[in-house]
Amino acid sequence: MAAKRYKKLTDLKKLQKQWHKLSGLHTREEWSAAIVRAATAAEIAANIAVRWCAPSRTMP
């Protein structure tokens, strides 16, 4: 059930959730899980940047 709700979130909200979870993992010194969350947050941020920049560029 939670997975469906997560899929309906905007990318910005997904990024915020990942960052919040990441900060908690970092505080608890759960390094491996924090690294995975950081990578996921970076991927979401990259997707946001690509979508933001894409409309201003033309494809060859």
pLDDT at residue 60 in the model: 52
- Please check the confidence at residue 59 and state whether its pLDDT lies above 60: no
Q: In this predicted model, what pLDDT tens digit does every residue of 2-22 receive, in sequence order?
A: 667 888 999 999 999 999 999
Burial call 23-48: b when 16+ CB within 10 Å, e when fewer:
eebeeeeeeeebeebeebbeebbeee
The chain-wide mean pLDDT, for the chain, equals 88
pTM for this structure? 0.77
